[in-house]
Amino acid sequence: MRILHLEDNSDDSELIRITLSLAGIDADIRLVASRQDYVAGLHDFTPDIILADYNLPGFSGLEGLEIRNEQAPDIPLIFVTGSLGDDLAVTTLRLGATDFVLKDRMARLPDAIQRARQESEQRLERRRLDVELAAEREVMRATLDSAQAAIVVLDGLGTIVSANPRAASMVGATPASLPGWAFWEVFPSPSNAGNAREQVRLALEWPHLPARDSWTMTTVGGRVVTWTSGTITSPGRAERVVLSGIDITEQRQAEHRVHYLGHFDQTTGLPNRQHFLQNLEERCGKRNIGTPSVLAVMLIALQRLEEITDSDGEEAIDRICQAMTERLKESQEQEPLLARVSENGFALATELVRGCDLDDFAQHIIEALSAPVAVGGRQQVVPVRSGVALLPDDAADPRQLMRAAEAALHYAETSAERSYSFYTPLLSDQARERLQLESELRAALIAENQLALHYQPQVNLDTGRIEGLEALIRWQHPQLGWLPPGRFIPLAEVCGLMNELGAWVLQEACRQLVQWDHAEIAAPTVAINLSASQFTSPSLFVDIDQTLARFGIAPERLELELTESTSMRDPQASVAIMAQFRERGLKIAIDDFGTGYSNLSYLKRFPVNRLKLDQAFVRDIVSDADDQAISRAIIAMAHQLRLEVIAEGVETAEQRDFLKAAGCDIAQGFLLSRPIPAAECALLLGQPLSLI
């Protein structure tokens, strides 16, 4: 991607290059700071996008914007600046800027660039369609000008006196067969014969007008013809009405095509967001006060589409969206309003009986969409999240209703408990709080002493000695105090911060190991969690290699934990990634084992060292026979595969004793130790004691 960067600070340009590279964007950046170099760059560099600082010595970003508007209006321009007040931001956008990104929020830049490129391509495509349509109209007009129009001559009663071959061909007749027939009996379709008769009557009643306004009707065969009437008078002959008709069928079809492209999604044939809102407004306008039903709007977001695109291509996404469209149509007994409102989103509006079970309504649709879809020769399960809002309960008009449904959808996407959510006024407040918390989390990543790692010991059930530590991130918020991972990890996943957060954890764990080594504290293996986005990130191995080299940490001192569900999303790819971990000497553990779907034929191929028995089985292991049986089976299977087993969530002596008797190797939980800060952990590691 060719980027023309209007900036007087080369360090800022290098930061942009690094930011884009981490996002997978290969950029050729030309740095310019003067008007002359900027204008030259527009013409000989032909950039794909322009990034501009707002203030430069002797030259300003606004001047650069004006030059762009005059000389290269199709190139997107994004202001990347240190500060930009609301008024200036609005001014730049009004003058034609595509977007603006503050330098302290540089993580937004890759998304802003991609969005600007997409919008630019869409504008060019719309312009191309407009040019093609204009060209088609011009060709059609030239053709009609050079061809004979349909000419029909009528007497004072509206009876056809004569017709030319072009007119006769419209109705599949010969010119000689038409005289004697009334015009409205021959040319219009049956549905508008009365309109044709009225138009002829008006032409006969105003014989002295040289021409009447044109009128359009559908003829036999579905052709659309625009007619113009006039009169001719000859000495010794009665006045005649002359109708001149031009076939505009192709023009109407082209207009319908343009309307379709502007209001419908080509992949699914569903209305787009704009058209959905228009339809929703019409539906709401027809509702009567006191209607016994409520209008429900459900916004639906398909998850994991980016991963599927990477593995199977855009055609797979088209296939999934088409399948989801059919399922949405089949899920409703009555005809609902349906639309595709984004690349991964659908909207559904339907009437519900007041007082009905809304959970049943939402679950019915979620279940209909959750069945596997055949893509690329295999079955793909596409997770679905949805938000529901009701009229009049949650909003007074359609646009408020959509905003309420969007708030509910966002809540569902950040919730680990449910795949759908109903709007409540509290969600709007929470949405504002989430935006604030997201901004503060981005700041925490570069601040000192806000993020920290706590360490939870993993204890050998035979010796009572600590054999490992799991590193768990905590956030000391300046106002809210210590926040647990459940408060901010889902937020990081939604706003795309997991890779940055994971990289911070890796570096901090290595830094702490070095510090313990200098203090001559014998630290065991430290386990860190890999998120799904980290696991599939192209930069994962570069991050690991660079961090280990920077701190001089031996790879075998780290254990990478990934959840069972993450490892089984694409088992073949997971095997290849884990093999590279093993080649580097890193240890691997499968976390939350037993809660997801594992194909044992793949599990035996995974080069892992440990399985972590999920605490869901440990919690009731003393009293629940099923949990006992499952736990014993997992432990036995793991040992057959020469794997160690760590039990999570051990909180009672009875749980510990059962697990030890069942052959479990290692335990982790509050009974043995809570996650503790590094300083407390150092004291624990320095004592030759047993935690059993």
- pLDDT tens for each residue of 490-541: 777 766 778 888 899 999 999 999 999 999 999 999 999 988 778 878 888 9
Q: 3-state DSSP call for residue 414?
A: helix
Burial of 282 (0-12, 13-18, 19+ CB in 10 A): exposed
Question: Does some domain include residue 593?
Answer: yes
Question: Does some domain include residue 138?
Answer: no
Count of C-beta atoms within a 10 Å radius of residue 674: 11
Structure tokens given for 435: 């935006």
Question: Does some domain include residue 141?
Answer: no
Structure tokens given for 182: 């009334």
Mean of pLDDT values over 311-337: 85
Structure tokens given for 203: 């032409």
Q: What is the largest CA-CA distance in the chain?
A: 129
Position with higher pLDDT, 476 vs 417:
476
- Look at residue 299 in the predicted model and tell me its pLDDT: 92
Mean of pLDDT values over 632-648: 91
In whole angstroms, what is the distance from residue 252 CA to residue 225 CA? Answer: 10
| Secondary structure E strands in 130-239 | 150-154, 160-163, 215-218, 224-232
Question: Does some domain include residue 61?
Answer: yes
Length of the chain, in residues: 692
CA geometry: angle at 571 spanning 570 and 572, to 5°? 95
CATH label of the domain that carries residue 66: 3.40.50.2300
Question: Does some domain include residue 287?
Answer: yes
- Which residues 6+ apart lie within 8 Å of 638 measured at CB? 611, 644, 645
| pLDDT, tens digit, 9 for 90 and up, residues 257-314 | 877 777 888 889 899 988 888 888 888 877 765 667 778 889 999 988 877 777 778 8
In whole angstroms, what is the distance from residue 399 CA to residue 375 CA? Answer: 35
Count of C-beta atoms within a 10 Å radius of residue 616: 15
Q: Are residues 410 and 478 in the same domain?
A: no
Mean of pLDDT values over 129-143: 70
Q: Are 76 and 98 in contact (CB under 8 A)?
A: yes
Q: Are residues 532 and 641 in the same domain?
A: yes
In degrees and rounded to multiples of 5, residue 12 shows phi and psi of -65, -40
| pLDDT, tens digit, 9 for 90 and up, residues 541-576 | 999 999 999 999 999 999 999 876 677 667 777 888
Q: Are residues 271 and 408 in the same domain?
A: yes
Which strands, in side-by-side order, build the sheet including 2-6? 28-32, 2-6, 49-52, 77-81, 99-102
| pLDDT, tens digit, 9 for 90 and up, residues 421-446 | 887 765 555 555 566 667 778 888 88
Does pLDDT of 235 surpass 80? Answer: no
Structural domain for 35, as ranges:
2-123
- pTM comes to 0.47
Among residues 401, 423, 445, the one where a domain terminates is 423
Question: Does some domain include residue 132?
Answer: no
Would the CA dihedral through 567, 570, 572, 576 be positive or negative? negative
**Which of 553, 565, 525 shows the shortest CA–CA distance to 646?**
525
Mean of pLDDT values over 600-616: 80
Q: Are residues 446 and 413 in the same domain?
A: no
CATH label of the domain that carries residue 590: 3.20.20.450
SS (H, E, C) 538-566: CCHHHHHHHHHHHHCCCHHHEEEEEEHHH
Q: Are residues 410 and 271 in the same domain?
A: yes
- Look at residue 403 in the predicted model and tell me its pLDDT: 83
Q: Are residues 488 and 633 in the same domain?
A: yes
Most confident of 55-59, 286-290, 593-597: 55-59
Q: Are residues 344 and 481 in the same domain?
A: no
Domain count, the chain: 4
In degrees and rounded to multiples of 5, residue 361 shows phi and psi of -60, -50
Does pLDDT of 238 surpass 70? Answer: no
Position with higher pLDDT, 378 vs 299:
299
Question: Does some domain include residue 142?
Answer: no
Q: Are residues 231 and 336 in the same domain?
A: no
- Look at residue 680 in the predicted model and tell me its pLDDT: 93
CATH label of the domain that carries residue 237: 3.30.450.20
- Look at residue 139 in the predicted model and tell me its pLDDT: 64
Among residues 206, 222, 252, the one where a domain terminates is 252
* pLDDT above 70: percentage of residues in the chain: 87
Question: Does some domain include residue 409?
Answer: yes
| pLDDT, tens digit, 9 for 90 and up, residues 662-680 | 999 999 999 999 999 999 9
| pLDDT, tens digit, 9 for 90 and up, residues 146-176 | 445 888 888 878 889 888 888 888 888 888 8
In degrees and rounded to multiples of 5, residue 443 shows phi and psi of -65, -35
CA geometry: angle at 600 spanning 595 and 601, to 5°? 150
- Look at residue 454 in the predicted model and tell me its pLDDT: 94
Q: 3-state DSSP call for residue 462?
A: coil
In whole angstroms, what is the distance from residue 363 CA to residue 251 CA? Answer: 46
In whole angstroms, what is the distance from residue 169 CA to residue 1 CA? Answer: 56
Among residues 389, 423, 457, the one where a domain terminates is 423
Does pLDDT of 232 surpass 80? Answer: no
Burial of 653 (0-12, 13-18, 19+ CB in 10 A): exposed
Query: What is the Cα 497 distance to its own chain's centre?
Result: 16
Q: Are residues 353 and 273 in the same domain?
A: yes
Mean of pLDDT values over 249-263: 79
Q: Which of 82-91, 450-459, 618-627 has the lowest mean pLDDT?
A: 82-91
- Look at residue 209 in the predicted model and tell me its pLDDT: 47
CATH label of the domain that carries residue 325: 3.30.70.270
Q: Are residues 239 and 268 in the same domain?
A: no
Q: Are 453 and 508 in contact (CB under 8 A)?
A: yes
Q: Are residues 43 and 172 in the same domain?
A: no
Q: Are residues 454 and 557 in the same domain?
A: yes
Q: Are 673 and 684 in contact (CB under 8 A)?
A: yes
